[in-house]
Amino acid sequence: MGSVSSVCLHCQSEMPENTGAFCCRGCEVIYSLLHKGDNSVVAEETERLNQHLIERLKANLWRAADDQDFRKIHSFNRTQTEYRLFLKGISCSLCSLSLEGLSEALPEVSMSRLNIEHSILHLQLKDPSSSLAKVLNLVEEMGFKIVVINPQENPQAHQDSENRIAVKRIAITGFLAGNIMLFSASQYLGVSGELSRVFDWCQLILFLPVLLYSGRPFYEGAIRSIRSRHMSIDFPMAVALSLGSWFSIANLIRGSHQIYFDSTASFLFLILASRYLSSRLIQKGKVADFELCHPQNQTVEVIDSDPGLNQSPAHVLDSTVSQQKESTRRVMASSLTLGQHYRLTANQILPCDSILVSDSCEVDSSQLSGESVPRVFFKGAELLSGSKLLSHDASFQVVRSSSVSYMQELQRKYQSALLEKSKIMGISDRLSGLLLVFVLLIAAGFAVWFWPVNSEQAISRSLALIIVACPCALALGTPLAYMRGLQECYRRGIHVRSPHVFEKLNQIENWFFDKTGTLTTGNLRLSSNNPMIDDELKSVMLGLEAKSNHPIALCLRRFWRDHLSAEVFNLQEHPGSGVSGQVQGRNYQLQNTLDSESGEVSATLFRDQRKLVTIRFIDSPRATSKDTLTRLRKIGKQLKLVTGDHRASALQMGTELGFAEMEIFSEMSPEKKLAQVQPADEQVFVGDGINDSLAMAGSTVSVIMRRGLGLQPHSADVSLPSDRPELLTVLLEISGATKKILIRNWAWSIIYNGAAGLGALLGHVDPLAAALLMPMSSLVMIGITFMTNMGRVKL
């Protein structure tokens, strides 16, 4: 029993190396809960864990979740026992299932079901008085990040019901198409006379729901495209479908056998299915991008200077009276109101525009402005929502409620800019319109010309032409190609929201890049021209910076992780200037300086007021940034750097990444970025934070590095994992390959359907031939799409 190293104690899944008893935090926690007081080999381990857990429960960061208001808003049933949590961090699917063991481990939970596909946990509490906060604390301890879903704003619910409707529509269409074909096949095989008439009518009865129900998405799409005066594939589809159907019905009533119910129905089935599959692929990417870091989604400590003045006592969760006779309580950030005082701890994000009440604080606003270096603010300064607090705890007063705060404002502008953008047309949309007009003109021309010769033949041949030639390429070829591209992208972690990216990306020459967080990591690193520093000083500096969240501290701890840190007494953090403390009886001070001219960050170490050494820091580019940019330049893309950072640091990093001086635009506000981008006819913008949002909305294709805050990654056209800019070239290759498939599908269907259409005009295409030709064409297309080798696309 001594070798517990290779499999996880809880879930028994194999682990790479001797990493401990458990594969993930989730397993650890559940195991320790299930084995309380168990005298096994890991008793010690579980003891330690339990201790940790108890501490977490004591800290009770989710305290606000037991607030009456909170529960009323977030519960999914009246008795307030049902909740849904969106979880981030579900990596080992099997282990995350241990979440379903919550009902065994906690008496409060009566049921917990996980949906891995959507990363949502359905939670049912035993009774309304059970603590939700305890469950949330535990789940967070297991290593998941939580968003408690608000039933009113649950995007997933809408999606689920849409999906259900789509699946039902496909099933019903499949059933109808299959049964229609039973009748038509027997007719092709020789059923004639009265029975054949009966079969015709049976087909019509089965076809009516196809026409009225299955075709609905196309009619709706067509109406939308007429309203917005924007051509979409739905329009020609709807025209062909209804024209073909009504001609067939008219033929049936007149007693002619020229009816095409079977091929129309089976074709509709294929299209619905392929559309559904590709929309599922897009959804998968969206789920993975669900925004978590929204600052409204955290709890903050509200300070009530006079408790008597406050709202109902039920609203107060945990009142503690401190020395200054202030009472504090934890609430959800979204419930902060104008004028309220609240306190944030280090690393929290400002939920709304506020005035600083504490003496000073240090703030990282790289997401808002693109500045790579934190800034110091003093009492009375106004800070924008979205900034991240770096130094110690600080108090603020709300000056604008969250709904009108800077971040929300920016988001609103962004949304309206996005609406404009949805009007961009793909090539296939445009081509499909052309093709429809072309085919309709030929059909009409032929009918008019042939009318004097044989009026009946004139109509039936034009009809055959419309049915055989029109919709196939438009409706099937495009979604099939997209599906293939989406699949390849999803497999590599690239989430594509709008497939028009595949058509556009390769031909766009102007590429704009944000700097901080996009091409660079946003983390500082030691500059290469630093003096040698002996180990003793290193350990002093590590000791001084041991607890700080300042980027300099993070950098030192990362770079010198092999060094021991000295024991520091009397450690003090001075926002904006650095840290000080005593080591072995001597006073040390590590002073941070930001040269506003050059934008350079440095730290100077003093011993007893005497300067010892200065080290310089620079923002580090991502490992593959330079390579990626070089490759993009090689294929003729015009690259430009657009950043909110200082001129000097923008220049330094820009030239390091290979940008020429005239290609670097610095100190850009979100509005200026948009103005910078817009003159180009078509453009790609690659960014990360809300400071890029306007420019992204104004670009033909927007790419976001997923790490952002506030900005929903899935509102960008493409999202990439933040540390892998090289996926841009992969995306380019995939979209190139997808476009090739698209063109091949189009070429095939135009040639094939052109030939079939000609046959139809010459009178060789009767319903039997159409029933054979159309699925054949679709099958060949599916074959082309999936046999095309995308393997050449390197990872």
Partner 1 sequence: MSVLYIMIPVSIGLAILFVGGFIWASNNQQFDDLSTPAFRMLKDDHKGEESK
Compute the distance between CA of residue 306 and CA of residue 326 in angstroms, rounded to an integer. 7
Task: Tell me the closest approach of the beta carbon of residue 40 to partner 1, in angstroms.
Answer: 10
The binder of partner 1 chosen from 47, 104, 162, 456 (CB under 8 A): 104
The binder of partner 1 chosen from 81, 87, 101, 498 (CB under 8 A): 101
Among positions 162-221, residues that touch partner 1 (CB under 8 A) are 163-164, 167-168, 171-172, 175, 179, 195, 198, 202, 206
Task: Tell me the closest approach of the beta carbon of residue 28 to partner 1, in angstroms.
Answer: 14
Task: Tell me the closest approach of the beta carbon of residue 4 to partner 1, in angstroms.
Answer: 13
Compute the distance between CA of residue 53 and CA of residue 515 in angstroms, rounded to an integer. 40
Task: Tell me the closest approach of the beta carbon of residue 117 to partner 1, in angstroms.
Answer: 5
Task: Tell me the closest approach of the beta carbon of residue 99 to partner 1, in angstroms.
Answer: 11
The SS3 call for residue 575 is coil
Compute the distance between CA of residue 770 and CA of residue 195 in angstroms, rounded to an integer. 22
Compute the distance between CA of residue 607 and CA of residue 590 in angstroms, rounded to an integer. 9
Cβ nearer to partner 1, comparing 28 with 503: 28
Per-residue CA distances from 70 to 122, 299, 302, 402, 634 (Å): 17, 11, 16, 17, 55
Task: Tell me the closest approach of the beta carbon of residue 226 to partner 1, in angstroms.
Answer: 31
The SS3 call for residue 448 is helix
Mark residues 294-313: x for contact with partner 1 by CB under 8 A, - for none: --------------------
Task: Tell me the closest approach of the beta carbon of residue 35 to partner 1, in angstroms.
Answer: 8
Cβ nearer to partner 1, comparing 117 with 393: 117
Place of tokens 């099933």: 171
Distance of CA 693 to the CA centre of its chain: 14
Which residues, other chains included, contact 267 with Cβ-Cβ below 8 Å and sequence gap of 6+?
471, 472, 475, 476, 774, 775, 778
Cβ nearer to partner 1, comparing 195 with 772: 195
Cβ nearer to partner 1, comparing 38 with 393: 38
Task: Tell me the closest approach of the beta carbon of residue 23 to partner 1, in angstroms.
Answer: 13
Cβ nearer to partner 1, comparing 123 with 237: 123
Cβ nearer to partner 1, comparing 12 with 228: 12
Cβ nearer to partner 1, comparing 160 with 671: 160
Among 94-102, 285-293, 440-448, 770-778, the segment contacting partner 1 (CB under 8 A): 94-102
Asked if 584 is part of the footprint of partner 1 (rule: CB under 8 A), the reply reads no
Compute the distance between CA of residue 181 and CA of residue 169 in angstroms, rounded to an integer. 18
Strand partners, 593: 602
Among 95-103, 254-262, 386-394, 702-710, the segment contacting partner 1 (CB under 8 A): 95-103
Cα within 13 Å of Cα(564), Cβ side: 4
Task: Tell me the closest approach of the beta carbon of residue 115 to partner 1, in angstroms.
Answer: 5
Cβ nearer to partner 1, comparing 203 with 408: 203
Compute the distance between CA of residue 315 and CA of residue 251 in angstroms, rounded to an integer. 72
Cβ nearer to partner 1, comparing 100 with 595: 100
Task: Tell me the closest approach of the beta carbon of residue 149 to partner 1, in angstroms.
Answer: 15
Mark residues 127-166: x for contact with partner 1 by CB under 8 A, - for none: ---------------------------------x--xx--
Helices (H) then strands (E): counts for the chain: 26, 27
Q: Which two tokens stand for residue 624?
A: 């593959």
The SS3 call for residue 613 is strand
Compute the distance between CA of residue 348 and CA of residue 356 in angstroms, rounded to an integer. 14
Which residues, other chains included, contact 563 with Cβ-Cβ below 8 Å and sequence gap of 6+?
535, 538, 539, 542
Dihedral sign of CA atoms 745, 748, 752, 757 in order: positive
Asked if 93 is part of the footprint of partner 1 (rule: CB under 8 A), the reply reads yes
Cβ nearer to partner 1, comparing 190 with 313: 190
Cβ nearer to partner 1, comparing 160 with 220: 160
**8-state DSSP, 508:** -
Task: Tell me the closest approach of the beta carbon of residue 164 to partner 1, in angstroms.
Answer: 5
Of 365, 351, 630, nearest to 511 by C-alpha is: 630
Mark residues 19-58: x for contact with partner 1 by CB under 8 A, - for none: ---------------x------------------------
Task: Tell me the closest approach of the beta carbon of residue 84 to partner 1, in angstroms.
Answer: 13
Mark residues 105-124: x for contact with partner 1 by CB under 8 A, - for none: ---------xxxxx------
Per-residue CA distances from 423 to 230, 238, 275, 664 (Å): 7, 20, 20, 30
Cβ nearer to partner 1, comparing 181 with 383: 181
**8-state DSSP, 622:** P
Number of residues engaging partner 1 in binding (CB under 8 A): 27
Strand partners, 120: 86, 115
375-378 sheet: strands from edge to edge = 375-378, 360-364, 388-389
Cβ nearer to partner 1, comparing 210 with 727: 210
Task: Tell me the closest approach of the beta carbon of residue 160 to partner 1, in angstroms.
Answer: 6
| Residue 431: count of CB within 10 angstroms of its CB | 17
Task: Tell me the closest approach of the beta carbon of residue 170 to partner 1, in angstroms.
Answer: 10
Of 283, 277, 262, 274, nearest to 233 by C-alpha is: 274
The binder of partner 1 chosen from 5, 6, 12, 455 (CB under 8 A): 12
Cβ nearer to partner 1, comparing 269 with 414: 269
Q: Which two tokens stand for residue 62?
A: 């989710």
The binder of partner 1 chosen from 4, 15, 57, 94 (CB under 8 A): 94
Cβ nearer to partner 1, comparing 199 with 665: 199
Q: Give the start-end residues of each E strand in 596-725.
A: 600-607, 610-621, 638-642, 664-665, 683-687, 701-706, 718-721
Among 90-98, 216-224, 237-245, 423-431, the segment contacting partner 1 (CB under 8 A): 90-98
Asked if 286 is part of the footprint of partner 1 (rule: CB under 8 A), the reply reads no
Task: Tell me the closest approach of the beta carbon of residue 75 to partner 1, in angstroms.
Answer: 19
Task: Tell me the closest approach of the beta carbon of residue 29 to partner 1, in angstroms.
Answer: 14
Asked if 606 is part of the footprint of partner 1 (rule: CB under 8 A), the reply reads no
What's the CA angle centered on 676, arms 651 and 551, to 5 degrees?
45
Task: Tell me the closest approach of the beta carbon of residue 178 to partner 1, in angstroms.
Answer: 8
Our CA dihedral for 692, 693, 699, 701, rounded to 10 degrees, sits at 90
Cα within 13 Å of Cα(534), Cβ side: 2
Strand partners, 610: 607
Compute the distance between CA of residue 124 and CA of residue 132 in angstroms, rounded to an integer. 10
Pairing of β 375-378 and β 360-364: antiparallel
Task: Tell me the closest approach of the beta carbon of residue 10 to partner 1, in angstroms.
Answer: 8
Asked if 11 is part of the footprint of partner 1 (rule: CB under 8 A), the reply reads yes
Cβ nearer to partner 1, comparing 6 with 12: 12
Cβ nearer to partner 1, comparing 100 with 733: 100
Cβ nearer to partner 1, comparing 167 with 660: 167
* 388 neighbors 604 (Cβ within 8 angstroms): no
User: Binding residues for partner 1, per CB under 8 A?
Assistant: 11-12, 34, 93-94, 97, 100-101, 104, 114-118, 160, 163-164, 167-168, 171-172, 175, 179, 195, 198, 202, 206
